[in-house]
Structure 1
């Protein structure tokens, strides 16, 4: 039976929720023309129905009772844009058990409980749509599921956190120190009042877990992702990187080889010739390598009310099409197994090292011995006088196992001539 009206219930009306309502309202005629049915927002769950809203909304649509959405048999699609994990997990489970399709932008929830929720959806012949969970308005989830489905994905590398990319861009282009760049990001709305999830790399690790699970058809445990943030990246390192022909970015990386998966999030010196080096400010980009398609890059705004709402609304339309054509959904992702993950100590990286040493004969010989003992080969060296008695030394290595590099660092730290090791970063091979 052809459905003339498909009804939507929303959980949340914050920044993203307001954007979703705005897009559905202002583009309603276009959506109806493409879908052949009208989308109607029937109810919106908020914590405080009396709160003034930044978006025009009929007060009769608002409720503070989740059951008004979850248990309403007329509501076909539940859109979760409230955030949070534990409470939200129970609400989404209830929606699926009540036979509703679910659309969500909640990366934290999906990274932790996505596989379990997909199993619930599959058991009830429904689906969870989550395009907006990674990359804001950049289409990523759908291409991985559909357009690139015939490929074996070999690797993915991405700038998937706008806050850290904005900070690093400001440090690089404007010469701002970390704290100044962070304050500016917060003032412009690119960083939360508590930015720790972004700065420490957790936000990017949640997104990587979602992308890697699709790319490699495997459940991804967050604990298996190696994570470092950008808090220790200094302006001095960014300037040295530029001198050496690199830009510093927070990268999320996943790769599969015969031994398993490599999963990591950390700052990386990227060659200025690589497309990711040019991605600036709050923009995101993901670089995929498939065995058939080759290299593909997705680029756009990775956050914000309307870019994220664009992806949420696309998912709503997808779900509505399935309802309109009475398509029952079996969830492929729910059957994913678990592939082995290669520990970070066994992975190979190139390294950037900045240290201060006494300006005296024999220092380089001692460093060369330490690196030689650990089978670490050096690629580039810069030495600059720091003061009358101290030299600042920057070294870039060729590829070496993390364990071997750690062995060399332990030996260097014990040298009397070494005053301090100020920075260690990884380097993308040219």
Structure 2
């Protein structure tokens, strides 16, 4: 049974349609998926980012949408391909671990999504090239690069350098992967780079709010309090409702919430990555991944049930302050707490100098919702054609 579009999805569709003169590409537009390096590689003056940026305004004058290069076609990448097909985004290139497909005229996103869901690879496409990622990015030279690659803790500096180069070239970059920001939070969030960087999906749909308020939050935030991991919230809710540990795990799998390595969620490591990024971005304190204190033990099923009988609940709560380093723990909370969010939400709270809590709630949970958060960044970063009014 197909998923019924919610109001948020409908608003996204209307926003894309209102902003750009787009229509889904037909399969004929990408027949053969040609990748002719000699014909397509462009000569760009990389020492002049301003000149390069001005060239990216061409799509505005033409009233067309910007070109998009998708990196990574796991669950989130596949859902983003669905959105490209549904909203007519001008997808010109896709890259997975096997190679890169590129067509200047545009790729048909729907069969690419189906290919990946069937276990195929982009290398199966005619004329796909097994290019190194950096080479593919230089050749394709898209207006917008969407990074849905898995977070790789062994390649953080490389990922950060790649994104810095793209931003300095005047390209927009949208991150669902955490690698680049973990590799270099400070300089990627400097202006003018920050104005071309989207992190809405990376923080569960709250990244735009953080970017919009970052300067104020850097001055006023005394402590960060967050519930950044929806998987553990779902597991807690299922167990409180009477499910066994195995049944709760099965539900999380059905909802598609687990990272590629489920232990990333269960151990708190996924939440630790986000808390480390926030500590650097907002508190501007040096924070290494190994400094984040993880829960001493995993989820205690009997303890959760005992708390529930007392009318309380539990969340994997992250905290960090200017005096104390980042820490994660399974915290008992009142059910009326603003941080007691349902599992389809994440919460990032910033305790300000007047004692108030600035709360950012995000719905970018699961592959589809994460892809929709990527689309929101696309709409925010890509200017509308100059002769059209944005609703």
Partner in structure 2 of residue 170 of structure 1: 238
SS in 2 for 1:205: helix
Equivalent pair of 1:201/1:229 in contact (CA under 8 Å): no
1:312 is displaced (CA, Å) by: 1.8
In 2, the alpha carbon distance for the partners of 1:25 and 1:11 equals 16
What is the aligned counterpart of 1:304 among 366, 373, 384? 366
Q: Deviations over 1:206-253 (max 9, x none)?
A: 01112222221233222221111662x333212322344421211111
Q: In 2, are the aligned partners of 1:48 and 1:64 still within 8 Å (CA)? A: yes
Distance 1:193 1:10 in 2: 19
Question: Is this contact kept in 1: 2:159–2:180, CA < 8 A?
Answer: no
Confirm or deny: 8 A CA contact 2:174 2:378 kept in the other structure: yes
Conserved 8 A contact 2:256-2:367: no
Q: Contact conserved, 2:157 with 2:184, CA < 8 A, in 1?
A: no
Q: TM-score, normalised by structure 1?
A: 0.60
User: Larger % of strand: which?
Assistant: 1
- CA contact under 8 A between 1:156 and 1:254: conserved in structure 2? yes
Structure 1 segments unaligned to the other structure (5+ residues) = 29-38, 325-430
Q: Tell me, what secondary structure is at the counterpart of 1:204?
A: helix
Question: Are residues 1:155 and 2:210 paired?
Answer: no
Q: What's the offset of the Cα at 1:288?
A: 2.7
Q: Take 1:229 and 1:106, find their aligned partners in 2: how far apart are those partners?
A: 27
Counterparts of 1:24 and 1:60, CA distance in 2: 21
**Partners of 1:203 and 1:243 in 2: CA distance:** 29
The answer on whether the counterparts of 2:228 and 2:318 sit within 8 Å (CA) in structure 1 is yes
Distance 2:180 2:254 in 1: 27
Q: Which runs of 5+ in 2 are unaligned?
A: 1-53, 100-111, 387-391
* 1:216 and 2:283 matched: yes
Q: For residues 153 and 177 of structure 1, do their structure 2 counterparts lie closer, same or farther at Cα, with a shift above 3 Å needed? A: same
Instruction: Provide, for residues 96-138 of structure 1, a one-character-per-residue CA deviation record: whole Å limited to 9, x for no partner.
Output: 4362443221125533x1337739x979998543222122xx2
Please say if 1:14 is aligned against 2:74.
yes
Alignment equivalent of 1:47, drawn from 61, 72, 97? 97
What TM-score results when the alignment is normalised by the length of structure 2? 0.66
Compared with structure 1, are the counterparts of its residues 203 and 72 closer, same or farther at alpha carbon in structure 2 (3 Å cutoff)? same
Q: For residues 23 and 84 of structure 1, what CA distance do their matches in structure 2 show?
A: 22
Correspondence for 2:249: 182
Partner of 1:107: 178
Deviation per CA, 1:308-340: give whole Å up to 9, x if none.
11222233344434999xxxxxxxxxxxxxxxx
1:3 aligned partner? 58
Give the whole-Å Cα distance in 2 for the aligned partners of 1:45 and 1:273.
45
Is 1:314 aligned to 2:376, yes or no?
Answer: yes
Which residues of 2 match residues 314-393 of structure 1 at below 5 A? Answer: 314-321=376-383
Q: CA deviation at 1:166?
A: 0.8
Are 2:324 and 1:261 equivalent residues in the alignment?
A: yes
Does 1:283 find its partner at 2:283? no
Alignment coverage as a number of residue pairs = 303
**Cα distance, 1:17 vs. partner?**
1.4
Is residue 77 of structure 1 aligned with residue 131 of structure 2?
no
Q: Structure 1 residues 228, 322: CA separation in 2 closer, same or farther (over 3 Å shift)?
A: farther
1:9–1:89 Cα change, 3 Å: farther
Shift of residue 297, structure 1, vs aligned partner = 2.7
In structure 1, the residue corresponding to 2:142 is in which secondary structure?
A: coil
Question: Per residue, is there more helix in 1 or in 2?
Answer: 2
1:203 alignment partner in structure 2 = 270
Cα 1:221/1:89, change in 2 over 3 Å: closer
CA 1:97–1:249: 2 relative to 1, 3 Å: closer
* Contact 2:151 2:178 (C-alpha < 8 Å) held by counterparts: no
Task: Quote the offset at 1:81 in angstroms.
Answer: 0.9
Query: Is 1:249–2:315 an aligned residue pair?
Result: yes
Structure 1 segments of 4+ aligned residues over 6 angstroms from their partners: 121-126
- Aligned 8 A contact 1:186 1:192 in 2: no
- Name the structure 2 match of 1:146: 212
Counterpart in 2 of 1:373?
none
Rounded Cα–Cα distance in structure 2 between residues aligned with 1:250 and 1:310: 25
- SS of aligned partner of 2:58: coil
**Equivalent residues of 1:154, 1:290 under 8 A apart:** yes
Cα shift at 1:25: 3.5
Which structure carries more relative contact order (alpha carbon 8 Å, separation 6+)? 2
